[in-house]
Amino acid sequence: MMQLVCKKIFLIMLNLLLLDQDSILMILKLTRHWRIVSGIGLLNDGMILTSILRRKTPSDCTSFRLSFLWDQYADALSQLGFDYEVLAEQEGDAALGNGGLARLAACQMDSLATLDYPAWGYGLRYQYGLFRQIIVDGFQHEQPDFWLNFGNPWEIERVHVSYPVKFYGTVEEEVLNGKTCRVWIPAESVEAVAYDNPIPGYGTRNAINLRLWAAKPSDQYDMESYTTGDYINAIVNRQKAETISNVLYPDDRSYQGKELRLKQQYFFVSASLQDIIRRFKDLHNNFDEFPEKVALQINDTHPSIAIAEVMRVLVDEEHLDWSKAWGIACKIFSVTIHAVQPEALEKVPIDLLGSVLPRHLEIIYEINYCLMEELKKILGQDYDKLSRMSIIEEGAVKCIRMANLSLACCHTVNGVSRLHLETLKTRVFKDFYELWPQKFQFKTNGVTQRRWIVVSNPSLCSIISKWLGTEAWIRNVDLIAGLREYAEDPDLHAEWKNMKKVNKMRLAEYIETLTSVKVSLDAMFDVQIKRIHEYKRQLLNILGIIHRYDCIKNMDESDKRRVVPRVCIIGGKAAPGYEVAKKIIKLCHVVADKVNIDPDVGDLLKVVFIPDYNVSVAELVIPGTDLSQHLSTAGHEASGTGCMKFLMNGSLLLATADGSAVEIAEEIGAANMFLFGAKVDEVPALREKGTSLKGSLQFARVVRMVRDGHFGFKDYFKSLCDTVEEGKDFYLLGSDFASYLEAQAAADRAFVDQEKWTQMSILSTAGSGKFSSDRTIEEYAEQSWGIEPCKCPF
Ligand code: OAK
């Protein structure tokens, strides 16, 4: 009821992603409506059950208010004959997204619930989440992630909440009440069935819903086949329907032009909008009120077809006139762009759209016609500009530019960091910005401290609560700045170092189990975990490691005594078809193979590739990290949220001035991190100059080592080396290399002085408050959605 009286925000987030094994502080409220279905125990109404239960050291989090549940839960389980740790380990991640974009959505859902906002999230319930990465002889192989094999106890199947989603067919003209209308006669119908994943807020009784759609066969269009005796085909076609929600596309940047992908997008959008409109119509009968009650956030360009769908529903089904419908659409939609690269902006070939969604294509043409008419009034005959701003891209393959569709309609266009907004304004959407500057905003991303400190690092959570004298920071993270006062306190230093050591111990055990590499706890744990992409420059990291190795090999014993020992940890998945990224993974392995057994090196350098990087792995790795690396070429990372998780956990950051790292430096002070590399405004000139190998002799030497087969696989790595060759080094590894090595040397020097390092680490955590998703969500609520918290009355 409460949801219906106040305005509500719906996040449209295809490939959303859920969370992780235990989902966003995934706690189930056990009421008589929501029961644990796995039969592992039942607690009383009002109590909360959390899957943080898998932590191995419950006593670490004595100050954590949920810890009392831990023991009760473990007791209840043991009475049933189960060990909770064993049980919890059975649960894999719900890897329903590719990386940063999806995980951000999970953090935002946690904040929406905790801050009592009336909100729902929508996504797809893929049968197969992101592939599992296995490494065979150093090469990545992909295996299916059938995460639903043993059921999913956290979801509630709503068999009675289902909607037909239509595809294909034709559009015909009909006369209705004397008016000519266009009517879509679809040829295929698939049923979307809702699966609800309740997301409880922390320290509030509010729980919000993440509704994921699964595709099921619909009976509607099969009857003919049955009656004509084509029984086998009818059954086969029924099964085909389910393929729509079968699998997540594993390439996070370019999947343009795939029919299944478009069907997934529309399936998810159509079901979600039917659901939203159905609930609106339960209480209201006038669409004028729609924008007062509903705000829709489009999460990147993938769900932009929602705009055409709203127009279709309002015009074709609700019989509103075009301009009224457009006025409503423009008031309800806002969009967040999460990328910089043009290839990440979704484009759909017109032929494909016309075949799968013929009426939507007509609607998009109509929207574009109106847009062009409006633009012509302002721009006159600037046809270059008009064609850049058109929703239709001309060319060999004529396409719909989904981003332009969103820009034409949405009242707000958000970037995800200040620097990202600059890039959107000056490069990606320059023409639109010049026309509608008021639409453009940024909301620097954030992550939830409840998962990334409270759940992942209970020892740190206890320390923070103890020193601040309150747990209030878990809901009001600004309070964490209070730690600054104690940044030099020797007692806090002792507790902090101990916490880090225990976390490093856990990580070291994990590394040894997985890779058989033994690492020293005295070494600096240096980590780069994220999707493998050329722009994220894992190759720069490996070339830096080769340089370190080369230096150690050429040192005499007395010099070696001054070397700061390092464990270099890299993890991440490469898209299955992304050859360069796969070669980078192989290079990590061959370098590790050589370095790790070299007696001249010993514990001074170890190299580890952690396979199958996912959210659970991140929860283990981040708390045990001393130094984390964020190496994207300036101007290429829209925001980056990994760095925020490391920051919260007191890892020092070695980073370029890219994405949100720029704002992190402002919060904690540049002196407390290791910044390096070209600035965003220097990048074009450097590319022009083409400085690469000549720019740094050291760079030339390490690339040559790989080229000459020092680590084997000479032919295999040739093309990888070519990508950083003079004149081809688009991501500027060569020109940033010297500066990168200097930053690494500065990190070594800082690590030697452990008191100084600990102080910097405390100041990092203390300065992380701004990077909470609570702040981001409050900004969205106020500036984009116009919603207010709505406390649960019972
Ligand atoms: C993936 C596909 C298309 C467009 C964007 C993405 C994506 O993952 N973007 C990432 O979003 C994160 C959340 O905003 C940002 O922190 C990352 O910088 C960005 O790459």
For ligand 1, say whether the CB of 637 is within 6 Å of any of its atoms.
yes
Q: What are phi and psi of 782, to 5 degrees?
A: -80, -45
* Residue 261 near residue 255, CB atoms below 8 Å: yes
Of 124, 164, 123, 171, whose CA–CA distance to 357 is shortest? 171
Is any ligand 1 atom within 6 A of the Cβ of residue 339? Answer: yes
Q: How many other C-beta atoms are found inside a 10 Å radius of the C-beta of residue 623?
A: 27
Q: Whose CA is nearest to atom 8 of ligand 1?
A: 101
pLDDT attached to residue 2: 43
Residue 692 clears pLDDT 80, i.e. is over it: no
Q: Tell which atom from ligand 1 comes closest to the C-alpha of 641.
A: 16
Per the annotation, the verdict on 641 as an active-site residue is: yes
Catalytic residue of the set 530, 537, 636, 775: 530
pLDDT, the chain, mean: 90
- Name the band, by pLDDT with cuts 50, 70 and 90, for residue 28: very low
pLDDT at res. 30:
26
The CA 140 to ligand 1 mean position distance, Å, reads: 23
pLDDT of 187 > 90? The answer is yes
Is 530 an annotated catalytic residue? Answer: yes
Tell me the average pLDDT across 421-425: 97
Does 38 score more than 50 pLDDT? no
Marked catalytic residue, from 132, 263, 645, 775: 645
Residues 517, 596: contact at Cβ < 8 Å? Answer: yes
Residue 252 Cβ inside 6 Å of ligand 1? The answer reads yes
195, exposed or middle or buried, with CB in 10 Å at 0-12, 13-18, 19+?
buried
Per-residue pLDDT band at 84 (split at 50, 70, 90):
confident
Q: Is the pLDDT of residue 702 over 90?
A: yes
Task: For the sheet with 605-610, list strands across it.
Answer: 605-610, 566-571, 524-529, 627-630, 652-656, 674-676
Residue-wise pLDDT for 298-334, tens only, equals: 999 999 999 999 999 999 999 999 999 999 999 999 9
* pLDDT top residue among 14 and 299: 299
**Helical H runs in 284-339?**
290-293, 305-312, 322-332
Ligand 1 mutation pick, 302, 338, 419, max ligand atoms within 8 A of CB: 338
Which pLDDT belongs to residue 24?
A: 30
Residue nearest to atom 16 of ligand 1 (CA): 640
pLDDT at 41: 21
> Which atom of ligand 1 is the closest one to the Cα of 336?
14
Cα–Cα distances (Å) from 646 to 456, 473, 483, 529, 619, in that order, read: 11, 18, 17, 11, 10
536 is catalytic: yes
What's residue 39's pLDDT? 21
- Which residue CA neighbors atom 1 of ligand 1 most closely? 252
pLDDT at 220: 65
Say which range, 45-54, 546-555, 691-700, has the weakest mean pLDDT. 45-54
Confidence of residue 233 (pLDDT cuts 50, 70, 90): confident
Task: Return the pLDDT at 31.
Answer: 25
What is the average per-residue pLDDT within 265-274?
A: 97
What is the model's pLDDT at position 227? 67
Per-residue confidence band for 617, with pLDDT thresholds at 50, 70 and 90 = very high
- What is the band of 768 on the pLDDT scale with cuts at 50, 70, 90? very high
Residue owning tokens 């203390």: 766
pLDDT 10s digits, 91-121: 889 999 999 999 999 999 999 999 999 999 9
Residue with tokens 């700061």: 564
Ligand 1 neighbourhood includes 423 CB (under 6 angstroms): no
The CB of 100 under 6 Å from ligand 1? The reply is: yes
338, 451, 547, 636: the catalytic one is: 338
Comparing 39-53, 188-202, 435-449, 620-634, the range with the smallest average pLDDT is 39-53
* Phi-psi region at 568: left, alpha or beta (left = phi > 0; alpha = psi -120 to 50): beta
Task: Please write the tens of the pLDDT for every residue from 345-371.
Answer: 999 999 999 999 999 999 999 999 999
Q: Which of 412, 641, 758, 776 is catalytic?
A: 641
How large is the average pLDDT for residues 619-632? 98
